[in-house]
């Protein structure tokens, strides 16, 4: 008998900083693309504990209480999001629910309602578009806005950010934190400075001094492993990072070293791109009871493959690479991929590729708690005709 499945959200991977400049967005009819010589005005909006806050808003009895959105401990679930009341106990997203309840015995678990969160996210974005056409969503709960062109003639980017926050509070009864600065890197960091329900501004005259004092752990794009490596090299602050040459950083960290070199000097030329193309589309399932039999796993992949196919169709995308994710009962995770010469299009094709990867990579008899499928190297499946060599 198959174990019941706990549906998860679509992967919501925020854009990681890249050493490459992103392609320019297409200008709108009002041509809001800023002149290159202008100091840009960038806002980063980050909703506060978004999933949990929506649940507390919709269900008043949850307000002021520690809430975890996710699967129950008895169902071997994980925390998707935690309210600020829960975070006081050290509870955070991706934490096993059993560990969360051990930290807070009166923690309230709420089943995720991802369609609800998507609907609220659309309402938030509608507010953004009142102020600029240059909106780049990173996930359901955060986005960059370029307000260099003052669409409503408000007078300042800080005032625009405050108006947006006020409207979110008044119209949706939710709170958002905002960061305002001259580029995406600084705006992202600024939005974290005064959370929750805060507004921070890093001006052009203060940018480099601010970066020099910033702890390396607080650099956007520097994860825990990289921070540990940097500290081992004597890099603890932005000032330490700034002492390294671009060649030295590239040698130590690869291509992303060029990014570290630039942001240490408060430089980030990536535009706010409203037409940012998704890099992957996928779905995954955690199981109430670990799967051990290969037939159980194949049956689970049927549903996951169907969901991935539906999402590909919804986003009008095909892809060349399929990746299978396997998480074992001890939380060790492996991913295996296969890239084809032709686009992956059909539901059955997604399923068969996933099963093929499963069959040769799964450890026999070892319990599995999660399976996932992702399609990447995406293309827009516009019809085309192949030219004949003899015409």
Radius of gyration of the chain (CA): 23
pLDDT at 175 over 60: yes
Q: How far apart are CA 195 and CA 141, in angstroms?
A: 14
Q: Which of 8-17, 293-302, 379-388 has the highest mean pLDDT?
A: 293-302
pLDDT given for residue 14 in this prediction: 33
The residue ranking higher by pLDDT, 26 or 295, is 295
Under the banding of pLDDT at 50, 70 and 90, the label for residue 55 is very high
In the CATH hierarchy, which fold is given to the domain comprising 280-379?
Dna Ligase; domain 1 (3.30.1490)
Q: How far apart are CA 231 and CA 4, in angstroms?
A: 45
Contact criterion met (CB below 8 Å) for 38 and 148: yes
Q: How far apart are CA 224 and CA 113, in angstroms?
A: 30
Q: How far apart are CA 139 and CA 46, in angstroms?
A: 10
pLDDT given for residue 382 in this prediction: 55
In the CATH hierarchy, which fold is given to the domain comprising 50-112?
MutS, DNA mismatch repair protein, domain I (3.40.1170)
pLDDT tens track for 326-341 = 998 887 889 999 999 8
Bridge partner residues of 46 (DSSP):
142, 177
Compute CA 314 distance to the chain's CA centroid, rounded to the nearest angstrom. Answer: 19
Contact criterion met (CB below 8 Å) for 309 and 346: yes
pLDDT at 28 over 90: no
Mean pLDDT of 201-221: 94
Mean pLDDT of 280-297: 86
The residue ranking higher by pLDDT, 260 or 20, is 260
The residue ranking higher by pLDDT, 84 or 26, is 84
Q: Is the bond leading into 122 cis (omega within 30 degrees of zero)? A: no
Q: How far apart are CA 65 and CA 54, in angstroms?
A: 13
Residue of 299, 320, 298, 310 whose CA lies nearest to 10: 310
pLDDT at 4 over 80: no
pLDDT given for residue 344 in this prediction: 94
Mean pLDDT of 75-104: 88
Mean pLDDT of 228-232: 94
pLDDT at 222 over 90: no
Under the banding of pLDDT at 50, 70 and 90, the label for residue 75 is low
Residue of 299, 357, 292, 295 whose CA lies nearest to 324: 357
pLDDT given for residue 76 in this prediction: 67
Q: List the catalytic residues.
A: 142
Under the banding of pLDDT at 50, 70 and 90, the label for residue 2 is very low
Contact criterion met (CB below 8 Å) for 237 and 213: yes
Cα dihedral: 201, 207, 211, 212 (round 10): -130
pLDDT given for residue 381 in this prediction: 61
Q: How far apart are CA 16 and CA 13, in angstroms?
A: 8
pLDDT given for residue 17 in this prediction: 39
pLDDT given for residue 85 in this prediction: 97
pLDDT given for residue 26 in this prediction: 32
Q: How far apart are CA 131 and CA 154, in angstroms?
A: 9
pLDDT at 383 over 70: no
Phi, psi of 176 (to 5 degrees): -135, 145
Mean pLDDT of 222-237: 91
Bridge partner residues of 45 (DSSP):
143, 178
Q: How far apart are CA 372 and CA 285, in angstroms?
A: 6
Question: Which residues, at least 6 apart from 222, have a Cβ–Cβ distance to it below 8 Å?
Answer: 216, 230, 260
pLDDT given for residue 3 in this prediction: 35
Contact criterion met (CB below 8 Å) for 53 and 83: yes
Under the banding of pLDDT at 50, 70 and 90, the label for residue 267 is very high
Mean pLDDT of 223-229: 87
Q: How far apart are CA 305 and CA 282, in angstroms?
A: 9
Q: What is the CATH number of domain 206-266?
A: 1.10.150.20
pLDDT at 203 over 50: yes
Tell me the CA distances in angstroms from 325 to 17, 203, 223, one per residue in order: 24, 43, 21
Q: How far apart are CA 146 and CA 96, in angstroms?
A: 37
Q: 10-24, 74-88, 93-107, 187-201: which range is least confident on average?
A: 10-24
Q: Give the start-to-end residue ranges of the domains of the chain.
A: 50-112, 206-266, 280-379
pLDDT given for residue 277 in this prediction: 65
pLDDT at 68 over 80: yes
Q: How far apart are CA 327 and CA 131, in angstroms?
A: 43
With 0.85 as the threshold, say if the pTM is over it. Answer: no
Q: How far apart are CA 213 and CA 16, in angstroms?
A: 22
Q: Hey, is 370 helix, strand or coil?
A: strand
Q: How far apart are CA 26 and CA 351, in angstroms?
A: 36
Helices (H) and strands (E) in the chain, counts: 13, 13
- Tell me how far apart the terminal alpha carbons of the chain are, to the nearest angstrom: 58
């Amino acid at each position: 008998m198959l174990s019941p499945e706990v549906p998860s959200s679509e992967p919501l991977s925020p854009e990681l900083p890249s050493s490459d400049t992103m392609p320019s967005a297409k200008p709108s009819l009002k041509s809001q693309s800023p002149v290159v010589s202008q100091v840009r005005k960038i806002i980063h909006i980050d909703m506060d504990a978004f999933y949990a806050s929506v649940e507390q808003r919709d269900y008043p009895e949850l307000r002021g209480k520690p809430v975890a959105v996710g699967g129950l401990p008895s169902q071997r679930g994980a925390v998707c999001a935690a309210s600020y009341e829960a975070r006081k106990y050290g509870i955070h997203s991706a934490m096993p629910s059993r560990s969360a309840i051990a930290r807070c015995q009166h923690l309230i678990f709420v089943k995720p309602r991802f369609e609800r969160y998507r609907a609220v996210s659309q309402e938030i974005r509608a507010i953004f578009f009142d102020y600029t056409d240059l909106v780049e969503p990173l996930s359901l709960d955060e986005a960059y806005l370029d307000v260099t062109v003052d669409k409503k003639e408000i007078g300042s980017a800080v005032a625009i950010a405050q108006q947006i926050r006020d409207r979110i509070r008044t119209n949706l009864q939710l709170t958002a934190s905002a960061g305002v600065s001259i580029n995406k890197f600084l705006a992202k960091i600024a939005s974290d400075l005064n959370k929750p329900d805060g507004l921070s501004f890093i001006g052009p005259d203060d940018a480099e001094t601010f970066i020099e004092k910033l702890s390396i752990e607080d650099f956007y794009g520097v994860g825990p492993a990289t921070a540990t490596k940097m500290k081992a090299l004597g890099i603890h602050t932005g000032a330490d990072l700034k002492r390294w040459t671009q060649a030295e950083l590239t040698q130590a960290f690869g291509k992303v070293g060029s990014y570290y070199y630039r942001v240490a000097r408060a430089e980030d030329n990536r535009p706010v791109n409203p037409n940012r193309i998704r890099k992957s589309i996928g779905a995954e399932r955690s199981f109430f009871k670990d799967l051990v039999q290969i037939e159980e796993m194949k049956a689970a992949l049927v549903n996951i493959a169907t969901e991935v196919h539906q999402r590909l169709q919804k986003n009008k995308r095909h892809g060349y690479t399929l990746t299978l994710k396997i998480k074992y009962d001890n939380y060790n995770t492996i991913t295996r991929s296969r890239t084809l010469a032709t686009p992956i299009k059909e539901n059955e094709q997604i399923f068969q590729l996933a099963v093929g990867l499963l069959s040769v990579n799964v450890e026999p008899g070892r319990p599995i708690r999660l399976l996932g499928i992702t399609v990447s190297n995406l293309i827009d499946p516009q019809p085309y005709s192949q030219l004949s060599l003899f015409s």
